[in-house]
Structure 1
Amino acid sequence: MVTNAASFGRSGVHDFIMIRASAIILALYTLFLVGFIACNGPLTYDVWSEFFGSLAMKVFTMIALIALLIHAWIGIWQVLTDYIKCTTLRGVLQFVFVITAFAYLAVGLFTVWGV
């Protein structure tokens, strides 16, 4: 078992639970969006803006964004530790991914709460 600080969770079981929980949140978010699109008539800017303007949708979107980042981080960490044996290269790739993930989180935060 890998026990260094690069793992998102405390153990493989914790990572397994986190990735499954984040997948459930992402599936629910996707089904909710598909249901909204299917049940509404023509989607205009006003309808879409009102939909994402509600507090519940903003919170649900942020939870889904955080779940996506957790899901992606665990997946990337697992792939990099399995296939990139050079520690320096793996560290650089993980650093680049973390910076990119935080940039996505910041853009998502400003986009959702800026509406």
Structure 2
Amino acid sequence: MVNRVVTGAHYGLRDWLAQRVTAAVMAVYVLALAVYLLMQPGFGYDTWVYLFSGNVMRTFSMLFLLSLFYHAWIGVRDIVMDYVKPAGIRLLIHVLVILALILYVIWSVQILWGL
């Protein structure tokens, strides 16, 4: 009788690199946003409206959010795979996290692009 062990798919290097790339994208976005806001003499609602009125900032914001969601998926998936041993519960958690992240992407598109 073969005792099947449920383990990961051994894509550690790809995930490690994806974590670093998404972290770099998020860091660049946060730094650029911080520099922009610190250089503004008056900070208020008008500043935010002006900043996000162009498609460039919306696009970079969407790239930031997609990077954040993918970064979160890799991290949560790895933690769940390491610490949740029953395969059924692990699958349920993975499905719930994926559904939540998909809803966050849809919500982000609605907020940024007004769709």
Q: Per-residue deviation at 1:96?
A: 0.9
CA distance in 2, matches of 1:35, 1:17: 27
Identity of aligned residues (%): 27
**TM-score (structure 1 length as normaliser):** 0.88
**Bigger mean CA deviation after superposition, 42-51 or 83-92:** 42-51
Q: In structure 2, how many angstroms separate the alpha carbons of the residues matched to 1:70 and 1:111?
A: 19
Q: Structure 1 runs of 4+ off > 4 angstroms?
A: none
2:8 alignment counterpart: 2
- Answer with 1 or 2: which has the greater Rg: 2
C-alpha contact 2:8 2:81 (8 A) present in aligned 1:
no
One-letter amino acid matched to 1:38? L
RMSD value over aligned CA atoms? 1.6
- Give the drift of 1:55: 1.2
Native 8 Å contact 2:62 2:109 kept in 1: yes
Instruction: State TM-score, norm by structure 2.
Output: 0.88
Match of 2:111 in 1: 111
Q: Which moved more, 1:41-50 or 1:93-102?
A: 41-50
1:34 maps to a residue whose letter is: A
